[in-house]
Amino acid sequence: MSETIKEINELIINKNIKGKIEFNYNLSKLSWFGVSGDAEVFFVPESVKELSVTLRSLSPNIKRTIIGLGSNILVRDGGLDGIVIKLGKQFSDIDLDDGVIKVGASVPDRVLSRFCCSELISGFEFLFGIPGNIGGAIAMNAGCYGSEIKDIFVSADCIDHFGNSITINASENLFSYRNSSRINNLIVINVLFRVNKNDEAQIRNKMEQINKDRVLTQPQKIRTAGSTFKNPISSLSNKKAWELIEISGSRNIKLKNISLSDKHANFIVNKQFKSANQIEQFGEIIKKRVLEETGISLEWEIKILGNP
Encode the chain in three state secondary structure.
CCHHHHHHHHHHHHCCCCCEEEEEEECHHHCCCCCCCEEEEEEECCCHHHHHHHHHHCCCCCCEEEECCCCCEEECCCCEEEEEEECCHHHCCEEEECCEEEEECCCEHHHHHHHHHHCCEECCHHHHHCCCEHHHHHHCCCEECCEEHHHCEEEEEEEECCCCEEEEEHHHCCEECCEECCHHHEEEEEEEEECEECCHHHHHHHHHHHHHHHHHHCCCCCCCCCCCECCCCECCECCCHHHHHHHCCCCCCECCCEEECCCCCCCEEECCCCCCHHHHHHHHHHHHHHHHHHCCCCCECCEEECCC
Residue 262 in contact with residue 245, Cβ under 8 Å?
Answer: no
- Other beta carbons within 10 angstroms of residue 50's beta carbon come to 18
Nearest to 198 by CA among 120, 108, 285, 278: 120
> Active site includes 251?
no
> Active site includes 301?
yes
> Active site includes 148?
no
Of 50, 125, 280, 301, which is the active-site residue?
Answer: 301
Of 106, 147, 180, 227, which is the active-site residue?
Answer: 227
Of 64, 76, 178, 223, which is the active-site residue?
Answer: 178
The residues assigned a catalytic role are 178, 227, 301
